[in-house]
Amino acid sequence: MEVPSILIPLGRNASRGDQILNAQRLEKMGGSIVLDSEHINSQQLLFTIDNALADKDTLGKMRMKLKECHLQRGETLIASIILDTVE
């Protein structure tokens, strides 16, 4: 499924940080919006949701990016992630 998302990963003080890294990767690929759990409030979350739902063009682009990621071969995706991490 190619469903754009708004992610709020646990902060480094509540996790190992892997949720942040995974969320950032998906955001960098263009498939999600990431919010900082340590600084977000309900008004900011609602604002982000409203803006995301209102911008049909951006939602369409996010769906396409997710579809592109889904179609990539596993080894290509893994190599890309490794290269992004090293750089």
**pLDDT exceeds cutoff 80 at 12:** no
**pLDDT exceeds cutoff 90 at 70:** no
- Secondary element (H or E) of residue 33: strand 32-34
- Secondary element (H or E) of residue 6: strand 5-7
Residues 47-60 pLDDT 10s: 999 999 999 999 99
Query: Higher pLDDT residue, 16 or 33?
Result: 33
Residues 23-37 pLDDT 10s: 998 899 888 999 999
- Determine the average pLDDT of the residues in 55-75: 82
Tokens of 21: 């890294």
Distance CA 73, CA 79 (A): 10
Q: What's the pLDDT at 71?
A: 59
